[in-house]
A and B are shown apart, each in its own frame.
Chain A
């Protein structure tokens, strides 16, 4: 352990004479060390810096196209509906399942409230697709297949939601959701089994499964497909989810795409994620395998079994995302929806920015949900951009920048560890926490 840059002595205040081997934490001597300490300090600083940088550079891009970035961001901010929280006044709100009205500090039916409902609809889905990526990450797996698992969940939700007319509404919804979750689990589980048995890399297999789900959807709901809506032949789409199978809207007008109870499913999933990871033997095994599969195997943990379980549970989250989208506000899935679907991929960014923790995923889902909704063309005043589509492009630009900066962030830490190893500082293990993707 003796080496050039680590003082070998700090053991003494805390440890005895029998110490040996890896050096304990050296006092921060340079920027990289300090950065690493931020990282340890709850890992809050880095994601925030990442997001802020992405928005700053995004602003420069806007400036480059000749528009005013401040106007653009103001437009986006207004579009998110988040200003609703700052518009405090005296209003009334109806309690659910009754006619009682009570006082409420925010206006439940303002324009901002409508925007916020849309943002939260997206946030709910993104929480789930984010968790689908984050859970696999905790087991050391990179689940790129969130999109495919979302599709499969969505197909089952649509199929069950549009069939079984006359079923009890509650049972119908539960049936559709459970089936979608299981379908997602099975879909992701295929990649898990392949990883566990023959070692096929999950990145490759989940991407392949994405395409299988994609083309299966195009076949099912496409022209002449078995599940195509027979009344709307010329723009191929699925049958509509029956009224009874739709998720109740608890805020806003059900006819104008109000906020459905899927948000609570997503929040429940966040809690479940935290509990599973931190409080169950399953979570212990998943984390052990994710950090160090050799040590897990040595400890008697079946690595293969956990690869499968982690993928399957990831698939549950993605399948749920598909279900709440279909049963909550889309009600049908069209040929073009499948072709343009990306919400599963945004989940990767959500998980990365959220550092694969429950709270982090929740917050970063809100960031991305706001961003996507805020940049929707209808929310941007026409005078901000010459071409309205630029807003959506700005949204994509910022998403890409977030990913890029997360990558850069990891790269910086990785390089630091590498240099540290040359100097004997870093110790074993490449990245800070195996939960990060390989750069």
Chain B
């Protein structure tokens, strides 16, 4: 991308919230036709900065220049008038209305100034979509289209309002990898048409993939603006976090001992009564991490639920340390020494309205020394929680803090802390780093390897191939409810990718 004119400049933007300096003299500029990524951990001040630009907040200090001209932006309406469009992470669409209606909303063509001229709205939207090569049906209702398509509607909405600066706030957070690829295609073609794009993210790989320049924020300050060309994930991570971050997990080869978790021909039904786990057999030995890779929805969730007693087993059996637990129920499975980091910490892992101390006690509140004869011993519960929270470096609250007031990363630390502190023999970790940023991911990964090294059997289920590859000592691939392949830690991403899409099974069938 050649050096071109600056369309937007932020100078010395400062925003103070009570107790927090959200933006501290941030400078930022956007050139015509570039994708400029704003990178930083959650809490670094990215969204605050963009909210100021979009007129949702007003800055305490600093100025905004558009095409070299100093402007005041006090409302989103003014931002739109200045050609700024923003696609929020959570879409602002009306589910029961059609695509066309949503796009023309607030500046809709009308008949006699009263009645919506739907035909003309529809025509304009089709034309717009075609001119940018968007495949979208203007008559579809928002509630019936995919999240990826909804995002396109949001982008079209900005284009309809004649935006030439587009802000995308964590646009890939809600997308599948395929949808993310499509989004990048759209962004590139918009870029060719002269759109200038600000891309907010905390994911290193996608920033490197899409951006021309990258500005890194940390704790409300701008750390650096650098060209994407020549930047590395490691370098960016260091800028984001402020210290060396191990993106690759440092671990010694596994020393597997006796099998602790043994699963034999397990069959499980999902909520629709469809057999989603179809004869899975696997062993996890003490001292090893076994990773299960697979595209979402191939039975991984149901497998984990069955192994933790949350879903009945249709057929087959599983045992922990030789003890059959197939129909034992969650309580007994946990008692037998299984720790479970669930895939959705807010749905399952935590009672958000409980204090951290109460959450830490979730598995053993009814056992000594945390209760006696049905009476909670709050002193011990709180004391233990304080110790664990300290050990796991949970920040943002103490034992009496409500779980919901913690950030996601710290919530996940509480879950991991509880599961590990119970000293399980088998640790089942499902999507243990979903939604976390690099610092927290590093922590969880390190912890899982430590647990392995202390002789636990770790079963890791993840949709992130990177995570599977960097942590696992053995890798199983699940496809349509079956284990279709087993690989060593040196397998390539491509080989796994083929297996995850059913490639190996079809080969077998052919042979």
Q: Are B219 and A22 in contact (CB under 8 A)?
A: no
* A178 close to B (CB within 8 Å): no
Q: Mark A279-304, 1 if CB is under 8 A from B, else 0.
A: 11111110110011011111111100
Q: Considering the complex, give the chain A residue whose CB is closest to the CB of B76.
A: A4
CA distance A429 to B329 in the complex (A): 27
Q: Are B42 and A11 in contact (CB under 8 A)?
A: yes
**One of B54, B219, B362, B436 near A12 (C-beta < 8 A):** B219
Comparing B64-72, B189-197, B351-359, the segment that makes contact with chain A is: B351-359
Find chain A residues with CB under 8 A from B15 CB. 7
**One of A1, A4, A422, A434 near B42 (C-beta < 8 A):** A1
Find chain A residues with CB under 8 A from B405 CB. 24-25
Q: Are A15 and B54 in contact (CB under 8 A)?
A: no
CA distance A174 to B329 in the complex (A): 40
Q: Are A280 and B20 in contact (CB under 8 A)?
A: no
Q: Considering the complex, give the chain B residue whose CB is closest to the CB of A21.
A: B408
* B435 close to A (CB within 8 Å): yes
Q: Are A22 and B404 in contact (CB under 8 A)?
A: yes
Q: Are B375 and A20 in contact (CB under 8 A)?
A: no
> Which positions 11-70 of chain B face chain A at CB distance < 8 Å?
15, 17-23, 41-48, 50-51, 54, 56-57
CA distance A6 to B88 in the complex (A): 12
Size range of the interface on A? Answer: 35 or more
Q: Are B351 and A295 in contact (CB under 8 A)?
A: yes
Shortest CB distance A276–B (Å) = 10
Q: Are B352 and A279 in contact (CB under 8 A)?
A: no
* B510 close to A (CB within 8 Å): no
> Which positions 453-503 of chain B face chain A at CB distance < 8 Å?
none
Comparing B148-156, B287-295, B363-371, the segment that makes contact with chain A is: B363-371
Shortest CB distance B17–A (Å) = 5
Shortest CB distance A33–B (Å) = 12
Q: Considering the complex, give the chain B residue whose CB is closest to the CB of A2.
A: B47
* B374 close to A (CB within 8 Å): yes
Q: Are A2 and B20 in contact (CB under 8 A)?
A: no
Shortest CB distance A313–B (Å) = 13
Q: Are A300 and B409 in contact (CB under 8 A)?
A: no
Find chain B residues with CB under 8 A from A400 CB. none
Find chain B residues with CB under 8 A from A294 CB. 347-348
Q: Considering the complex, give the chain A residue whose CB is closest to the CB of B407.
A: A19
CA distance A18 to B395 in the complex (A): 9
Q: Are B17 and A7 in contact (CB under 8 A)?
A: yes
Identify which of B20, B50, B51 gathers the most chain A CB atoms within 10 Å of its CB: B20
**One of B18, B92, B331, B410 near A302 (C-beta < 8 A):** B331
CA distance A4 to B48 in the complex (A): 8
Evaluate whether A20 and B330 lie within 8 angstroms (CB atoms) in the complex, with A2-B170, A3-B90, A296-B351 already known. Answer: no
* B110 close to A (CB within 8 Å): no
Shortest CB distance B55–A (Å) = 10
* A9 close to B (CB within 8 Å): yes
Shortest CB distance A20–B (Å) = 4
CA distance A292 to B365 in the complex (A): 16
Q: Are A13 and B409 in contact (CB under 8 A)?
A: no
Q: Are B17 and A298 in contact (CB under 8 A)?
A: no
* B308 close to A (CB within 8 Å): yes
> Which positions 337-390 of chain B face chain A at CB distance < 8 Å?
340, 342, 346-354, 358, 361-363, 365-366, 371, 374-376, 378
Shortest CB distance B269–A (Å) = 17
Q: Mark A1-45, 1 if CB is under 8 A from B, else 0.
A: 111111111111111111111111111000000000000000000
Evaluate whether A20 and B440 lie within 8 angstroms (CB atoms) in the complex, with A291-B353, A429-B352 already known. Answer: yes
Find chain A residues with CB under 8 A from B310 CB. 297-298
Find chain B residues with CB under 8 A from A427 CB. 346, 352, 404
* B200 close to A (CB within 8 Å): yes
**One of A15, A17, A281, A284 near B218 (C-beta < 8 A):** A17
Shortest CB distance A306–B (Å) = 12
Find chain B residues with CB under 8 A from A23 CB. 407
Q: Are A281 and B48 in contact (CB under 8 A)?
A: no
Q: Considering the complex, give the chain A residue whose CB is closest to the CB of B381.
A: A284
* B242 close to A (CB within 8 Å): yes
Q: Mark B318-341, 1 if CB is under 8 A from A, else 0.
A: 000000000001110111000010
CA distance A435 to B358 in the complex (A): 17
* B134 close to A (CB within 8 Å): no
CA distance A422 to B94 in the complex (A): 11
Q: Are A8 and B44 in contact (CB under 8 A)?
A: yes
Evaluate whether A15 and B396 lie within 8 angstroms (CB atoms) in the complex, with A2-B170, A288-B354, A428-B352 already known. Answer: yes
- Return the 7 tightest CB-CB contacts between A and B, nearest first: A21-B408, A18-B439, A9-B22, A2-B47, A300-B331, A20-B409, A299-B362
Cross-chain pairs A/B with CB under 8 angstroms, 9 sampled: A9-B22, A10-B43, A19-B407, A281-B366, A288-B358, A295-B348, A297-B310, A300-B334, A300-B335
Partner-A contacts on B (CB < 8 A): 15, 17-23, 41-48, 50-51, 54, 56-57, 86, 88-90, 92, 169-170, 200, 202, 218-220, 241-242, 308-310, 329-331, 333-335, 340, 342, 346-354, 358, 361-363, 365-366, 371, 374-376, 378, 393, 395-397, 404-412, 435-437, 439-440, 443
